[in-house]
Amino acid sequence: MIEKADSLQTQFSIGVKGTVRRTEKTPRGIEIVPSEIRILGIAQHPLPLDVTGRTPAEIDTRLNARVLDLRRDECGAVFRIEHVALEATRAFLSERGFVEVHTPRIIASATEGGAALFPVTYFEHDAFLAQSPQLYKEQLIMSFEKVFEIGSFFRAEESHTRRHLSEFISVDIEEAFAAAPDVMKVLEKLVRYVCGAVKKGCQRELEILKYRFDVPRTPFKRFTYDEILKELDGEGVDVPWGEDIPTPAFRTLGKIHPYFYFITDWPTKSKAFYINPQDENPKVCEGFDLMWQWVELASGGTRIHSKDLLIKRLTEHGLHPESFKFHLKVFDYGMPPHAGWAIGLERLIMMLTGKKNIREVVLFPRDRYRLTP
Amino acid sequence: MIEKADSLQTQFSIGVKGTVRRTEKTPRGIEIVPSEIRILGIAQHPLPLDVTGRTPAEIDTRLNARVLDLRRDECGAVFRIEHVALEATRAFLSERGFVEVHTPRIIASATEGGAALFPVTYFEHDAFLAQSPQLYKEQLIMSFEKVFEIGSFFRAEESHTRRHLSEFISVDIEEAFAAAPDVMKVLEKLVRYVCGAVKKGCQRELEILKYRFDVPRTPFKRFTYDEILKELDGEGVDVPWGEDIPTPAFRTLGKIHPYFYFITDWPTKSKAFYINPQDENPKVCEGFDLMWQWVELASGGTRIHSKDLLIKRLTEHGLHPESFKFHLKVFDYGMPPHAGWAIGLERLIMMLTGKKNIREVVLFPRDRYRLTP
C-alpha cells in the first residue's frame, strides 16, 4: 500500500477504500486511512500547466491544455457561476410566461445583413450559420406571444479583441404587444435577479475569484444617445451625431457610469434594419443598449411590424427584400407589434466574475486564430 | 366602432379597450364591450392555411407557413410540452450535481468518424459542424466530474425518414467515476421524472393533443443484445450477430415491448470507437440503447479511458489517431473512468406528444430537402 501511495503523482485519478476520520491536519478536516488504493488514470509528468496556479501561464498555453486549466479552482468557479446564472435566467423568464424555443442554426440567407457570416455546405446548397435568432424569434411571437432562446450563434469576427468570439451564447427574448420600454423593464429585472441568484448561490465561487459586486437597484439609469454625446463632449470626446460610439469613447463613459445604464434613442442609421424608427422623428429609433461600465451587455428595441416599412428599411440598408421573402411573408399573417433584446451571455458572465478576457469565460473559445482544442 | 369591427378578419392582431363582462355565450365565459378598437396587424386573406384546422393541410404546406401553423392549439401544445420537458430535465440534472456546459459547434476534425459532417469555411481553414459534444463532454468530466449539455447539433443525414433531421437537439450527460449501469439509472429516473412533470404540468396540452401516456415505473427492463436476437428469431426475424438491428426488426420488437426498455451488451464493432469493450469478452461492449417501443431514444455506455486502447479502437475504425491528437492528449492528464449518454430531444418529445413525424416537434425543421423557412 505504501509503495503504491509513493508512486502517486499530482493529477492522477485514483480510487481509495478506507476509513474516514476527523483530523485537524487537512484543510477539509477529514482524512482517509486506506485499506486499498487503485490507480484509475495516470498523469504523464511534466504536465503542460501547473494546476496549483503557483506558476502562472499565458492564456494561450492554458487554452491549449484547457481541461487541465479547468481543474484550477479559479477556473472551475467561473463555470459554476455560469451554471447558476443560466438557471436563474430561465427560471425568471419561464415564471413570466416566456416559452423556450429553438430556432435553426443553418439558414439559407443572411439575417442581419450579409457581413461576417460563416458559409456552410448544406448538401448541394449554399447556406450560412445563424448570427442570431432575430428573424425567427420575431416570427414566433405571432404564435407564442413571449419567447426566449439561449444558445450558440456564430459571427465571422475579424477583429481579435478581449471581448469578441466567433462562436458565442446569446440569451434572446421577444415579446408581442410590447415596445422598448416594456422589454427594458424585463431586462433590468432579469439582470438584478441573476446578480442576486449568483451572489446568494455562489458565495464560495466569488470568494475563490476574490471578486465582489453589488446587486443593482432598478430601474437602471436611462440616457438618450444625445445626452451621452453631450456628456462625452464635456469630457473632450467628440462623436459626430449619427455614428456608433467607438470603444475609446465608451471607456471614458464607463468611468463616469461605473455600473448598469441604458442608452436609448439611437440614430436610426446606426441600428439594424428591423428597429422601429420613431413616429415623430424617424431619424431616431426605438433601439436601446444596456451598458455595464464601458461594455455593451445587451441590445434591443421595438421592432418594425409594418411590412412596407420593413421593405423600405431593408432597401436603405442595401439588402435585397427578395432574400428575406420567407420572413416578409409572415407580416401578411397579422403580425402584432413587438419588441425584444439579446444579451451576450459571455459578457454577462465577465461582469459576474470580474474576468477581463472573454476567453476566460468560455470552455473552448473560438476566434479568428483558434479552432482547437 | 361597428364599422371597424366589421372590417376585422381572422388572424388580425388587434388591441381592444373596454369593459370585461361575464357571459355564458363565449367559451371562456367573458366578453369585452369595446370602447376602442385598434387594428395592430392585418392578415392578408386568403391565408395559406386554415388555422382552425378544419381544413387539414399537408405537412409541407404547414411547414412553409410554419408560424401560422403554430397558431393552431394542437401545434402550440407540442412546444409548451417541450418547454416543460426541458425545464424538468435541467432541474433533475442540476439537482444531482451536473454542471451545464457549452461545447463548440465549429470543430477542426470529425468527432464520431468522418461520415455525415457539414463542412464550414472558418476564415481560411476547413472546419465542420459538430455532430455531438461527445469528445468535449468526456474531456470535461476531468474538471467538473458531472456535466450536461442541451443544444443543437448537426448531421448531414442523407436518409429522408420521419425520425431523422439534419439539425437536432441533443441532451447529453457525462459522469466521472461511473460506468454504464450508473448512468442507466440516471437516465431511467430522468425519463420517469420528465414524464411525471409533463403529465402534471401539461394536462391542458395533452387534452388538446388527445394523447395519454403512463408515467413509467423504474427500473426499466434490461435485455442483452443476445436476448433481443433470440426474441427476434422467435418472431421469424433473423439478425446476424454483430450487425446493428435494422428498423423493420425494431418495429417487430416494439410490438413485443410497447414501452421503455434497455438493450445492453452490444457487439463492440456495432458501436462507436469510444465505447469500452468488456474485459472478459472484448467482442461485446459496455454500450446501451434506451428504446421506447421501436424507437431508439437514447444511447450511451462506459467509455474507454485508456489512451492506448482508444488509439487501437480508432485505428480499427479506420480513423487516424493524428486527427484526434487534441483529444488523446487529455488522456495523459489523469483521466478517470467515465460513462454517459445522449437523448435525442425530438424523439423524447414525439413520445411525450404522440407525434409520428419528427417535423411536428421542431419549430423550423432542417432535412435533406428543407432549408427554409
pLDDT digits (tens, 9 = 90+) for B200-212: 999 999 999 999 9
For residue A61, tell me if it sits in a domain: no
**Chain A residue with minimal CA distance to B158?**
A123
Residues 288-347 of A with CB under 8 A from B: 305, 326-327, 329-337
Asked if B36 and B120 sit in the same domain, the reply is no
pLDDT of residue B114: 60
pLDDT of A211 above 80: yes
Average pLDDT over residues A113-140: 91
Residues 163-222 of A with CB under 8 A from B: 166-167, 169, 176-177
Asked if A29 and A151 sit in the same domain, the reply is no
| Amino acid, res. A328 | L
pLDDT of residue A1: 85
Under an 8 A CB cutoff, do B76 and A13 touch?
no
pLDDT of A327 above 70: yes
Residue A15: pLDDT band with limits 50, 70, 90: very high
Would you call A16 helix, strand, or coil by DSSP?
strand
Structural domain of A286:
68-361
Asked if A28 and A84 sit in the same domain, the reply is no
pLDDT of A111 above 70: no
Average pLDDT over residues A170-195: 98
Asked if B113 and B10 sit in the same domain, the reply is no
The residues of A carrying an active-site annotation are 155, 157, 163-164, 296, 299, 347
- How does pLDDT run across A84-108, given as a tens digit for each residue? 999 999 999 999 999 999 999 999 9
Asked if B76 and B115 sit in the same domain, the reply is yes
For residue A369, tell me if it sits in a domain: no
**Chain B contact set for A68 (CB, 8 A):** 142, 333
For residue B213, tell me if it sits in a domain: yes
> Of A294-303, B110-119, B133-142, B171-180, which range is least confident?
B110-119
Q: How far is CA A276 from CA A68, A265, A288, B72, in A?
A: 48, 11, 11, 29
Of the residues B75, B90, B333, the best mutation for testing chain A's interface (the one with the most A CB atoms within 10 Å of its CB) is B333
Report residue B251 as a C-alpha cell: 418495429
pLDDT of residue A110: 65
Asked if A171 and A103 sit in the same domain, the reply is yes
**Residue B75 contacts A where some CB pair is shorter than 8 Å:** yes
Query: Is the CB of residue B167 less than 8 Å from the CB of residue B131?
Result: no
For residue A373, tell me if it sits in a domain: no
- How does pLDDT run across B308-353, given as a tens digit for each residue? 999 999 999 989 999 899 999 999 999 999 999 999 999 999 999 9
Report residue B15 as a C-alpha cell: 388591441
Query: What sign does the dihedral B173-B179-B182-B185 (CA atoms) show?
Result: positive
Q: Please give the Cα distance from B365 to B152 (Å, whole number).
A: 12
- How does pLDDT run across B20-61, given as a tens digit for each residue? 999 999 998 999 999 999 999 999 999 999 988 888 899 999
Element (H, E) at B263: strand B260-264
Pick from B80, B101, B105: which is nearest to A363 by CB? B101
pLDDT of B3 above 70: yes
What is the dihedral angle through the alpha carbons of A254, A259, A264, A270, rounded to the nearest 10 degrees?
Answer: 40
Helix axes A134-144, B73-95, angle to 10 degrees: 110
pLDDT of A292 above 70: yes
**Chain A residue with minimal CA distance to B73?**
A143
CB burial of A44-61 (b: ≥16 within 10 Å; e: otherwise) equals: eeebebebeeeeebeeee
The residue annotated as part of the active site, out of B109, B166, B170, B299, is: B299
Asked if B139 and B237 sit in the same domain, the reply is yes
Average pLDDT over residues B243-259: 95
Average pLDDT over residues A347-367: 97
Domain at B289, CATH number: 3.30.930.10
The answer for residues whose C-beta is within 8 angstroms of residue A308's C-beta and 6 or more apart is none
For residue B147, tell me if it sits in a domain: yes
Element (H, E) at B89: helix B73-95
Give the number of domains in chain A.
2
Beta strands (DSSP E) in chain A are 13-22, 30-41, 99-100, 106-107, 119-122, 125-129, 146-154, 167-176, 221-224, 260-264, 287-292, 295-302, 338-344
Q: Please give the Cα distance from B260 to B294 (Å, whole number).
A: 9
Asked if B250 and B290 sit in the same domain, the reply is yes
Query: Is the CB of residue A70 less than 8 Å from the CB of residue B143?
Result: yes
Average pLDDT over residues A41-56: 91
Average pLDDT over residues B272-291: 97
Under an 8 A CB cutoff, do B12 and A90 touch?
no
pLDDT of residue B232: 97
For residue B268, tell me if it sits in a domain: yes
What is the dihedral angle through the alpha carbons of A253, A258, A260, A262, rounded to the nearest 10 degrees?
Answer: -20
The answer for residues whose C-beta is within 8 angstroms of residue A24's C-beta and 6 or more apart is none
Under an 8 A CB cutoff, do A67 and B333 touch?
yes
Asked if B300 and B202 sit in the same domain, the reply is yes
Longest dimension (CA), chain B: 83
Residue A163: pLDDT band with limits 50, 70, 90: confident
| Amino acid, res. A94 | S
Query: Is the CB of residue B9 less than 8 Å from the CB of residue B50?
Result: no
Cell 388555422 belongs to B51
Asked if B149 and B40 sit in the same domain, the reply is no
Asked if B194 and B262 sit in the same domain, the reply is yes
Counting Cα atoms < 13 Å in the Cβ hemisphere of A318 gives 4
Pick from A15, A44, A103: which is nearest to B332 by CB? A44
Under an 8 A CB cutoff, do B105 and A335 touch?
no
Residue from A56, A58, A16 nearest A37 by CA: A16
Q: Please give the Cα distance from B343 to B296 (Å, whole number).
A: 9
The distance of A54 to chain B (nearest Cα, Å) reads: 18
pLDDT of B260 above 90: yes
pLDDT of residue B112: 62
Average pLDDT over residues A213-224: 97
pLDDT above 70 coverage of chain A, percent: 99
